[in-house]
Amino acid sequence: MQKLVVRCFSISVDGFGAGPEQSLENPLGIGGRDVHSWFFPTRTFQQMFGESKGETGVDYDFAARGFENIGANILGRNMFGPIRGPWPNDEWKGWWGPNPPYHSPVFVLTHHARQSIPMEGGNTFHFVTDGIESALKQAFAAANGKDVRLGGGVSLVRQYLNKGLIDELHVAISPTILGSGERLFEGVDLVALGYKITEHVTTKNATHIVLTK
């Protein structure tokens, strides 16, 4: 059965998945890059940029699992880019260059319609204006039986959580404090929603927790 999964979602010790004052120059907000520091040394991350080296071990295992059996992705508009309001033109095509790391159809939630963008590596960005459940339905159909990965940002993950639509959530808690920004579990009652901790592993770089329904 297909699942909606969140994997390798990094947060700070005080629960923030992004820092304050996000911008084109600082897309993760002030200090936001630090919450992903466990991921950058892994072989998975290095291979995304054509490198053959990189660390293995527990952090690598979780990073590699993040891409297993994924047939489509869902992103919030802030994850796709810094532009707000109506699209001024078709120039912006994401943060990642001509060959984004998803290698599958990607469904971007937005209030403003835009034509789909085919790119290299099997990537096509589709823009969904009629809500999170419509995006999920389209993503499941495009995934051809595989799972759908919800990439964020924080607000979008909360929306899917509060609807009880996420089947599996992997959170990597990095040993850093942001102080402000966007809290992942703000206003979310995980117990009432039926989530339980099914994995809990700590490394020197992060504490990995997997929640499932």
Give pLDDT tens digits for 30-75. Answer: 888 899 999 999 999 888 777 778 899 999 999 999 999 999 999 9
pLDDT in tens, 94-116: 888 899 989 999 999 999 999 99
C-alpha span between 63 and 47 (Å, rounded): 11
Domain-embedded: residue 70: yes
The pTM of the full predicted model, rounded to 2 decimals, is 0.93
The two three-digit tokens of residue 19, written as one number: 């820092």
Q: Which domain holds residue 164?
A: 4-19+27-79+146-212
CA angle 135, 137, 142 (to 5 degrees): 90
Say what angle helices 132-142 and 154-162 make with each other, to 10 degrees: 90
Domain-embedded: residue 120: no
Give φ, ψ of 131 to 5 degrees: 100, 170
CATH number at residue 159: 3.40.430.10
* Distance in Å from the first CA to the final CA of the chain: 14
Domain-embedded: residue 112: no
For residue 106, count other CB atoms closer than 10 A to its CB: 26
